[in-house]
Amino acid sequence: MIRKLQMVALDCADPVRLAQFYAELLGGRVVADPDTPEWVEVHGFEGIPLACQRADGYRPPEWPGQDRPQQLHLDFDVDDLDGEEERALSLGATVLERTDQLRPEANWRVYADPAGHPFCLCLH
């Protein structure tokens, strides 16, 4: 039996840049080994660590289209949706959809990280 989920790894063109984005967003720290620059980790925040892995020819997913499907996305609990949106945007995220403004029952918004991976900020 598998004991636990150890890490989530995201493909990207620039693992250092993507790891810095998530370290700032989550209040974590970048853990890099100079001998393996194609793999950079983010630790030191509540939850499962993230890894950013260089993929040659990386092409970001298209959301909501499926020509290049997202395959996965990350959800983050927040207490202040507007405040965390502002912070995420200042770190390099882009808005894909303010779902809470489109559907009254929704409590989330969808963004893309600097490498194009969709993620959601969800009001706790």
Q: Give per-residue pLDDT as tens, 6-27.
A: 899 999 999 999 999 999 999 9
Q: How many residues does the chain have?
A: 124
How does pLDDT run across 43-100, given as a tens digit for each residue? 999 999 999 999 999 999 988 888 888 788 899 999 999 999 999 999 999 999 999 9
Q: Which residues of 37-69 are buried (b: 16+ CB within 10 A; e: fewer)?
A: eebbbbeebeeebbbbbbeeeeebbebeeeeee
pLDDT confidence of 117, banded at 50, 70, 90? very high
Q: What is the pTM of this model?
A: 0.87
pLDDT confidence of 104, banded at 50, 70, 90? confident
